[in-house]
Structures are given as C-alpha cells and as structure tokens.
Amino acid sequence: MVLNLFLQSAPSGSSLLGFLPILLIFGVFYFLLFLPMQRQRKQQAKMLASLQNGNVVVTSGGIVGTIVAIETDDTMVLRVKPDNVKLQVSRSSVSSLVSSEGKK
C-alpha cells in the first residue's frame, strides 16, 4: 500500500534522472581507467616502432640485452651479458628501453 502511494506520486520524467548516475559512473571510468590505458598503449607502440640496433632493452621476462639485429618477421636478436649469449625474442616482448645507444 505504501509502495503503491509512492509509485503514484513519482513523476514520469524522473526516469531520465535515474540514468544520470549511471552515465556519471561511465564518465568517471573513462577518464580514470580507459583514457590512461590508451595513452600508455600508444606510448608502448611508439617505443616498439622506434627500436634500433644497439639499443639496450628489458623484456617482459626481465632479460636485459642489447639489440643486435631486427628481423623482418617482428623478431629481434638480443645479446645478453656476461657471456654474450644471443637470444631471439619477439618485438612485442620488449617492455622498456633502457638506453638508446643505437646508430644515428
């Protein structure tokens, strides 16, 4: 009975106001989560595209090595110290650039 009285007194235009908090939550998620992730993804892609021979990089597995060769199939050869072991890794496995001592 009380619920019936409440539903009768509610104006029909308030349904638009009911969606406002949901839209506000989506806006906050966009600016706090999605926008920074897009920026980070763009910076990572730019860094991967600019890799050259001689750059010192860190892979996602934590291996630090110097780029010796960049292959055409999106792989690269890294020289890892102290024994100068050469490893072939994919370009996408590089997580960060330590120093850019490449040829200019």
Q: What does the pLDDT look like over 31-71, one tens digit per residue?
A: 899 999 999 999 999 999 999 999 999 999 999 999 999 99
The verdict on 39 and 58 lying in the same domain is no
Domain co-membership, 57 together with 79: yes
Same domain membership, residue 68 and residue 41: no
Domain with 62 in it:
50-100
CA distances from 20 to 28, 49, 92, 97 (A): 12, 42, 41, 44
Same structural domain for residues 33 and 9?
A: yes
The tally of domains found in the chain comes to: 2
Q: Does 26 share its domain with 60?
A: no
pTM of the model: 0.67
Q: How far is it, in rounded angstroms, from Cα 10 to Cα 31?
A: 33
